[in-house]
Chains A and B, each alone.
Chain A
Amino acid sequence: MYAQMVKTASNRVKTREEMSPEEQHFQDKIDNDVKIEPKDWMPEDYRRTLIRQIGQHAHSEVVGQLPEGNWITRAPTLERKAILLAKVQDEAGHGLYLYSAAETLGVSRDELIELLHEGKMKYSSIFNYPTLNWADIGAVGWLVDGAAIINQVALQRTSYGPYSRAMIRICKEESFHARQGYSAIMKMAFGTPEQKKMAQDAVNRLWFPALMMFGPSDKDSVHSEQSMAWKIKVKTNDELRQQFVDQTVPQIDYLGLERPDPTIKWNEERGHYDFAMPDWDEFFNVIKGNGPCNADRMENRRKAWEDGAWVREGLLEHARKKAARKVAAE
């Protein structure tokens, strides 16, 4: 997802007997759905894992502005331009809310940003894929935000209060993202042959990367197990991925597009669609930095940050001068 493969610090889940009284009390609260708040006692691993997860999520929102931002100046109508700009702006807001949530854990936004720029923190693999034609804008809203929403709706119940509240606010704002995407791709799929070709091309390219967003199967992952016990992860990667596929296949069919994976088939017995897994080698390569856009995305983010340094410093210096003048006048 936007936070894929978040490692927990410990390598296995403690049994109750191994827990200190504080840890037991902490786990009881989680089991009873009592939210953990910033000043409450928490295990150091919980805090560190959350910083990694929320930080990764925040970075994904901000880096995620770039592939869609790529089309703002080429949007084909004034209305589409306004919708897209408002949508990408929302993602900046999501980044802001999530950095704020992470800041309650004792790390600052600028620290997290520097970690990202030094390559010490990650963001979702999906944003390392390019947006190549206008239909990609529809497909990103529909598939990528669609996948993200599935995860984020689940995370509204996460155990850490500030994270949960950020998710609630984000989910409220997400309501239009997937819809504007689907409405854009509907125009393409039902438009001229060239438009339909763009729509098919977008779905073909983005389908498997969208499935990768949920991360590899977590059957054997001890990290997932600990995160589930702490309720900073609420459903397994496979559950969420299945939910996404089940919801999306009929939407592809409705558009009259070919399914991007010929093996997709309704499984009567399971009550779910069967489908092919993405190429996990490709996924790990993208995570390692070898995706089609990794280098460009990071260069863009670093450039924006470095070019903006004089602005941040200038405005701060002005605030200091103003405060000093006020004191001097009193």
Chain B
Amino acid sequence: MKNEWPLWEVFIRGQHGLAHRHVGSLHAPDAETAILNARDVYTRRNEGVSIWVVEAKHIAASSPSEKGPLFEPSESKIYRHPTFFDIPEEVGHM
């Protein structure tokens, strides 16, 4: 889609001094707006005090766990971004 806003990965540092953590992604026309959008989308419940955004295409990721790929993904299947890195496994109670 030629006019699609770029994809940004969002990293947030919470109240407790831990490092910035990947929380998800969003679309925005530029970095400034991406930060504002991240504030509105990912800190609605006081989750963070500091936000980083980086355009997804600038993230370099380590190789997947399997080596020696017999089946290379075709060009049409490029994975656009390695999103949702680590979110703790605890599950909100219902």
Contact = CB atoms under 8 A, between A and B. Distances in A.
Do A and B interact with each other, yes or no?
yes
Interface of B: 1, 3-5, 7, 24-27, 29-30, 33, 41, 44-45, 61, 63-66, 69-71, 73, 76-84, 87, 89, 91-94
29 contacts: A22-B70, A22-B71, A39-B79, A40-B66, A86-B44, A89-B44, A96-B26, A103-B81, A103-B83, A104-B81, A104-B83, A106-B78, A108-B4, A109-B4, A109-B27, A110-B4, A171-B91, A171-B94, A172-B91, A174-B92, A174-B94, A175-B93, A175-B94, A178-B94, A312-B3, A315-B33, A316-B5, A319-B29, A319-B30
Contacts of A40: 64-66
Given A153-B94, A312-B3, A104 B30 contact: no
Most buried by A among B4, B29, B64: B29
A47 to B, nearest CB: 7
Contacts of A237: none
Contacts of B92: 168, 171-175
Interface string A317-330: 01100110000000
Interface string A257-275: 0000000000000000000
Contacts of A97: 24
Given A100-B84, A165-B84, A169-B24, A38 B79 contact: yes
Nearest to B7: A103
Interface in A151-181: 153, 156, 161-162, 165-166, 168-169, 171-175, 178
Interface in A21-46: 21-22, 25, 37-41
Given A41-B64, A105-B79, 9 more contacts: A40-B66, A41-B69, A96-B26, A149-B94, A161-B84, A162-B84, A174-B92, A316-B3, A316-B29
Contacts of B45: 173
Interface residues of A, number: 50
A174 B92 CA distance: 9
Contact of B79 (A90, A106, A172, A319): A106
A39 B80 contact: no
